[in-house]
Structure 1
């Protein structure tokens, strides 16, 4: 049985960049499940699996289709209980929900501003038109105006991660001694930046950067298969 992870790319299919798809790629590797990744550009997502979802990631596992990164992680945990756990119990699910909220509320917008023009330039012309229109509709500003705020976000980025830094003072991963899905959620956000705009602006001695490097090394360097921009 071939599992298929549908993900997001620009003109270059070898550079998938969605933070949500990266979460699922590491979750599958964590479970020791083989899969094939099939990246699609924004405007082709509606054609995947007869329009199953407006967004990626989408996982096909045999006859089963699952959308949304967190729903996919929950599905993998239930479908493969004998494989390494992604949550370690209900507490780990609650932790993952918190990290998801932290990532989306605190990290995603700064990364968007730092990476938005880089993402635009990675797309073909059709997707560039879609990207401009959809981001203006969602964020209320032209992408150039958002990008102009990127340098200020870059300067403040490390301080936004202080709660993570303090947590990692006590343990190597957010999940404790080994990674859980909570780690993959935040990893996905930083990997999104790494692939589109270059490594996150953190000093080499930053505990968060050291954690990120450990995550890049997981599963035979799965995260490093796409080089930094």
Structure 2
């Protein structure tokens, strides 16, 4: 009588960490109903859990920035759904989506979007004050966030008095200030030298390990190596997903 071979490999345990970001068959079509609609994102499904950093890679025009815009509530899907911290953004008003971003989402924009008339501290304080945090507390949080990214000395400087790399770090501090549970970063190290870029990736990795969830768009495989998982987009579709190298 034959004895059936049994695997000695332990079964993989299910990941029970809460899902903070969920895209469910999300699509975004620009110019829908026109002769030549542009399908920027085409039925992407993706989950990002607490304590997980996911890197998104792909050629220009593959849908990476569109994916981040949907994840951060800057845009809404043409079809499908996007859920952030338990809230579906599809049915939210513009005002409600803005409140959700201030409360739960830290966004590092590729073009930074610093307010020229505000100092570094005031730029970092702004989302916290808009959400009702007192000025004294917001200033303390801003100083700590600027210290975390290595530019506390820029506290009272205006963007025009900073280098591109310094502005990038202030923008990252603004994304990390306060209890942001979801951190979205669009090429966050693009204006930085390699040494500073690695330091910033270490900061992002630490924030995720402390209990946030992170979604990072990058062209740099070395920075993607900080992620737990790497997904690849092409022509608006997710074509591959792989485990990251997880530098720590």
Q: Scaled by the length of structure 1, what TM-score is found?
A: 0.31
Q: Scaled by the length of structure 2, what TM-score is found?
A: 0.29
Q: Which structure has greater helix proportion?
A: 1
